[in-house]
Structure 1
Amino acid sequence: MNSATVLPPTQRNAVAARVADRSDQRLRRIGMLREPGGLAQADDPHRVATRIDRLSRHRPDVQPINPRAIVSGDTAAVAAAGAVLERIIQTSDLLGVGYLEGGATAAQAVGRVNIGDVHGRLVGYGTGSLVSPELLLTNHHVLPDAGTAESSSIEFDYQDGVDGRPRPTVSFALDPARFFVADETLDVALVAVKADPDDLARFGFNRLTESEGKVIVGDFVTIVQHPRGEKKQVALRENRIVDVLDLFLHYETDTEPGSSGSPVFNDQWEIVALHHAGVPAPAHGEMGGIVNEGVRVSQLLGFLRRQQFPPEQQALVDRVFAGHAAVPAPRPAPGAPHQAVAQAMPVGAEPVDTVGPPAVGEAIQIDPDYANREGYDPNFLAGPEPVPMPNLPPRLVPLAAVNRVATGAPRHVLPYHHFSVVLNKQRRLAFCTAVNIDGNTSVRLRREPDRWSLDPRVPADEQAGEEVYRDNPLDRGHLVRRLDPAWGTRTIAKGANDDTFHFTNCTPQHKDFNQNRTTWAGLEDYVLENADNRDLKVSVFTGPVLAPDDHPYRGVQLPRQFWKVVVMVTRAGMLSATGYLLSQEDLIRGLELRPEEFDYGAYRTYQVPVRRIENLTQLSFGTLTEADPLNRLEAATTAMEITRPEQLTL
């Protein structure tokens, strides 16, 4: 028997109508792809910029490009975007071997769906992929209901090995009683696999991500499939995205019936779509007269988020969205016990968790469209008067880096989600940062692996980048703590968290200083939760003390001290502003001369008058000096060492 499931006529007609309706746009985009630099202009500029940003996650030599510059037709931006895309996407087929290694790993989780009827008879084939440790993704027209799923199975390793001989196959029944959901409009079905977790873990899974920037018009895609129910095959890369719709992608590729439910991968082996149909398109002779359609992964995940499941099923769905995608486990040698899998995992790899769902997270991804950042809000505290950012005196303004896309004054302010930065272009570090913190709506986001980025609004040579931190004990120290601006909706909180990973918000801090718990680390939390704070809100200003005699190191002078000013409104409706200093001087002394030897001297937190911070930084804090409780004390010129938060004067 060699029967494959096919799309029902109603759905197939709908696909054909979409393909016909988009003919003009598709032909225009294909024409643009043939022009020099056309990759940067064949799709929406924001999507192009987001694609470049996501490519930079995989390629450290790629820098984000501002989408507004592309929209405006900025010659340099369009040329830079075109150069990046031509180099990475419109490349020759000379790819690194890592591409094949990634494909072999991704293909492990793809299997043949054997479709059964109510009598247990085999009636057709499809393709499916594991997308979590327990759940299999395929099409609705492959598994239209739980009854069909109950009679069907997933078969892995139905393929030839490198020796040309068939591999031993492994089949598992499906378990719709544990989990099953399907949608005819999106043509998607998600079902649990009935298997021992250790048995299933050997095949790994292909993570689904909601992140933008996975694909644009002109990208090549690869489809791992079981065409007509035959052995696993791959339509390798010479298949191009030719149109991006709200719900679907259109692409050229070699597929057959039985390929329904196949994952569509980009060059980074991220699933970008779920393949479900190919329909005739006579106008596209260059594509063999066929246009293929896949359902966008972002739409599939959006559908899942809108559903309501019982708690035990929701836990399974959460694992689809989990930030830690399980690395497909190395295949054990024939006859080896399953325990050998965990032992064979590479150092640093995370084994498949079979106990419970990990916390939801998402890798650091900075939105390249900076037009949506509102920055620090001086009216955030709703106190007796606004609390503006510290002011630069006229003589320091020429030293501030200029935000080249700023539309208003002052142009040296770099706004992000819920915070802003003023950068000293000479020192390549921040003059100051300003953040609004809302303790009532804060979102606790798990820390994903750090990925720091330069801010494209400022020349790269005005920012202290990765070269300062390589192969030494210096940490990339946050000035605005990553969770401080993470409040509001989860989307905004996530964007704010990720914005803190700009090098503009980073300062060199010795690891012994940055990683140890000190009173400094908990100042904001204490003021939020334990002080006489009216609304559980604070605004915080932070920065390094940029002294002229700071130690030089790799083109950057390393700050020895850091300052902080925390502002709140008391329950009496009065502003309270308190200042703090912390030193790492003993830790960084001699870093350039003898990097293998360090003076691990003491570092201490001091509460100091705000006026003292003004004198050290030459910044103006306006009326906040009058709101400082130390300003009213006789010992206002002294510094009080703080060893525990209860010693703060607020």
Structure 2
Amino acid sequence: MTSYPDRDAVEKRVHEREDERLRKIAILAEPFGLAKADDPGRVATRIDRLSRTRPDVRPVDPVAIAEGEEDALRDAGTVLERIIRTDDLLGVGYLEGGVRAAKAVGRISIRDDRGRLRGYGTGSLVSPELLLTNHHVLADAATAACSVVEFDYQDGADGLPLPVRLLALDPVRFFAADPGLDFALVAVRATAAELAPFGFNRLVEAEGKAIVGDFVTIVQHPNGERKQIALRENRIVDVLERFLHYETDTEPGSSGSPVFNDQWEIVALHHASVPAPEKGELGGVVNEGVRVSRLLAGLRARTFPPEQQALLAGVFGEPSPVVAAPVTEAIRIDPDYGNRAGYDPDFLAGHRVPLPELSPDLMPLAAVNRQATSEPKHVLPYHHFSAVLNKLRRLAFFTAVNIDGATSVRLRREKDKWSLDPRVPEEEQTGEPVYADNPLDRGHLVRRLDPAWGPSREAAKSANDDTFHFINCTPQHEDFNQNRTTWAGLEDYVLENADNRDLRVSVVTGPVFAADDDQYRGVQLPRQFFKVVAMVRQDGSLSATGYLLSQEQLLQGLEVAAAEFSYGAYRTFQVPVRRIAELTGLSFGPLGDADPLGQQESATTAKEVGGPADLVL
């Protein structure tokens, strides 16, 4: 569960306001109490704001209210009693507005840098791309980078759970927080178009959104449960300079929930519930939320870089300022290879997934890392991934990468600049001459964005650039490499939509070498490629699935002659991990036993994958 903010400060405010709070609650029970329980200026401002959408509402004189003039109190009280209904009868538009407002609210899973769940919070989209929650939910950018938000974690009208849309957060793009006002505003790792189906709840700077006696509604994920709504009798009972006090049912996990008035405007950001000293008032609990007008004033007072200011403009409903085109970040390979940790076999929580082992027949073909200081010396580590090179074929046996979806950074693809790896002889690598003046592409084995994650943009950029080593690519016909096959999205699907506990996967990718592969400029061109994807399910168990990109005829033994091979005929198949081991001569350790397809009766099962629904995970 999430920790509270400065609990002592909250309890002190609640205690100090006890007499004033009780006085206001008593006034609310009097005739025209709604007009008398709050500051006259605030009452007049509230009525003025209501008049903007209600032509039958007339402004009132705050001076007359302050002086207790009976006509003014009667007029103000009548308006407020009519709109801030006390009989719990509301127009159906209230429900329609609530559906729209609740759509933008999601559950935040707070995770540490190992992907372990540390608690839950609630957040709401408040612009096309920014999410608002509490500072004590996302205390810093590092925590935000490891955490995720889940939209539609709720039951539908038929009582069945809706499909959940899980998205990582992107504090590199935008993160702002204030411990005093207990808020955090962070970008979601998705485009505005991808987030559009959830809408957003605009924050309003203007005063007049709520007064003492107004009802509030809180949309929340209490204790990390499915989305719930705390409906009436929830009333504001005190208004402080920076906070509102109100009655409602909340639980841990509700931190960061939006507090709405009856017009579905956010009036506060819920952040704490503390016992009321009088032990009887409001069921013994007072809830506190940060006033939205004060939160926005805090953001107004800060300066942000131009690109972040453009995102923040969406919170205020302002047009985005013109931002200069970002400076091109050219591919740059760090010449110090001693700082690369490579693939981490302990990346998946609770499970060790070692690098594949070469069979005795393949070991003599492995290129040796001349800079290796430990065994095995045939492994070439990069940032967040490793490779093993076949010096005879001059291509990788395989690559293995760790992918952390919670801290990934979406970097622009700049002009490609491929490099040889100085740790192995140049003649053992396939370099630029193979790709010149022909339809062959340099096909990434480790996709450039897969290892692009970490605590900073710089760390992600270094890993992104490392993928532009020739060892990490194979010559692939342009019809294959540029074809939008299911293959290209396998990591994304398993990472973000499968039963993945910590948004982490480890992926092994490589070519399937065959003796009769086409020869071209001294390099044999692979005709099949494999991928093995490992993750941890929500129940803590390991899942590993294998895939081949191939022609259907090639699955049973590569018996099709090279002359008959069509580069445009690639399709994706899910196959048992053990089948990939047979084809490649690699041993995948515990992954064969973790393969749901491998547990089926037929050891040669091959299931064509046309979309996510075809996967067996």
TM-score by length of 1: 0.49
* Offset of residue 212 of structure 1: 0.8
The partner residue of 2:286 within 272, 284, 291 is: 291
The partner residue of 2:50 within 44, 55, 70 is: 55
The answer to whether residue 180 in structure 2 is matched with residue 185 in structure 1 is: yes
Amino acid at match of 1:5: T
- The residue number in structure 2 matching 1:437 is none
Kept in 1, the 8 Å contact 2:152–2:164? The answer is yes
Amino acid at match of 1:63: R
Q: Which runs of 5+ in 1 are unaligned?
A: 325-352, 358-650
Kept in 1, the 8 Å contact 2:18–2:277? The answer is no
Kept in 1, the 8 Å contact 2:15–2:277? The answer is no
* Offset of residue 355 of structure 1: 10
- The residue number in structure 2 matching 1:518 is none
The answer to whether residue 244 in structure 2 is matched with residue 249 in structure 1 is: yes
The answer to whether residue 179 in structure 2 is matched with residue 160 in structure 1 is: no
The partner residue of 1:144 within 135, 139, 155 is: 139
Distance 1:258 1:315 in 2: 31
Kept in 2, the 8 Å contact 1:37–1:83? The answer is yes
- The residue number in structure 2 matching 1:107 is 102
* Offset of residue 97 of structure 1: 0.3
1:437-475 CA deviation, whole Å, 9 max, x = no partner?
A: xxxxxxxxxxxxxxxxxxxxxxxxxxxxxxxxxxxxxxx
Distance 1:190 1:69 in 2: 41
* Offset of residue 130 of structure 1: 0.3
* Offset of residue 316 of structure 1: 1.0
Amino acid at match of 2:19: D
1:611-639 CA deviation, whole Å, 9 max, x = no partner?
A: xxxxxxxxxxxxxxxxxxxxxxxxxxxxx
The answer to whether residue 25 in structure 2 is matched with residue 30 in structure 1 is: yes
Distance 1:235 1:49 in 2: 28
1:104-124 CA deviation, whole Å, 9 max, x = no partner?
A: 000000000011101111211
The partner residue of 2:230 within 221, 227, 235 is: 235
SS at match of 2:188: strand
Amino acid at match of 1:169: V
Q: Which runs of 5+ in 2 are unaligned?
A: 325-617
What is the root-mean-square deviation of aligned Cα atoms in Å? 1.7
Kept in 1, the 8 Å contact 2:27–2:37? The answer is yes
Kept in 1, the 8 Å contact 2:310–2:321? The answer is no
From the CA coordinates, give the structure whose radius of gyration is larger. Answer: 2
The partner residue of 2:254 within 255, 259, 272 is: 259
Distance 1:72 1:205 in 2: 41
SS at match of 1:58: coil
The partner residue of 2:113 within 118, 127, 136 is: 118
1:533-560 CA deviation, whole Å, 9 max, x = no partner?
A: xxxxxxxxxxxxxxxxxxxxxxxxxxxx
* Offset of residue 78 of structure 1: 1.2
The partner residue of 1:72 within 67, 72, 91 is: 67
- The residue number in structure 2 matching 1:567 is none
Kept in 1, the 8 Å contact 2:129–2:191? The answer is no
SS at match of 2:198: coil
1:485-510 CA deviation, whole Å, 9 max, x = no partner?
A: xxxxxxxxxxxxxxxxxxxxxxxxxx
Distance 1:356 1:238 in 2: 47
The partner residue of 1:311 within 306, 312, 319 is: 306
Amino acid at match of 1:69: A
Equivalent residue runs for 1:620-635 within 5 Å: none
Kept in 2, the 8 Å contact 1:6–1:260? The answer is no
Kept in 1, the 8 Å contact 2:306–2:323? The answer is no
Distance 1:254 1:91 in 2: 19
- The residue number in structure 2 matching 1:273 is 268
Distance 1:240 1:321 in 2: 27
Query: How many corresponding residue pairs?
Result: 324
- The residue number in structure 2 matching 1:128 is 123
The partner residue of 2:213 within 215, 218, 221 is: 218
* Offset of residue 71 of structure 1: 1.7
* Offset of residue 318 of structure 1: 1.3
* Offset of residue 76 of structure 1: 1.2
Kept in 2, the 8 Å contact 1:19–1:291? The answer is yes
Distance 1:108 1:355 in 2: 30
* Offset of residue 356 of structure 1: 8.6
Kept in 2, the 8 Å contact 1:157–1:168? The answer is yes
1:238-281 CA deviation, whole Å, 9 max, x = no partner?
A: 20000000000000000000000000000000000000000001
**Stretch moving more, 257-266 or 192-201:** 192-201
TM-score by length of 2: 0.51
- The residue number in structure 2 matching 1:445 is none
Kept in 1, the 8 Å contact 2:181–2:295? The answer is yes
The partner residue of 1:300 within 291, 295, 299 is: 295
Kept in 2, the 8 Å contact 1:265–1:272? The answer is yes
Distance 1:54 1:197 in 2: 30
Distance 1:130 1:140 in 2: 15
Counting aligned pairs with the same residue, the percent is 70
- The residue number in structure 1 matching 2:4 is 7
- The residue number in structure 1 matching 2:508 is none
Amino acid at match of 2:212: V
* Offset of residue 197 of structure 1: 2.1
Distance 1:21 1:206 in 2: 33
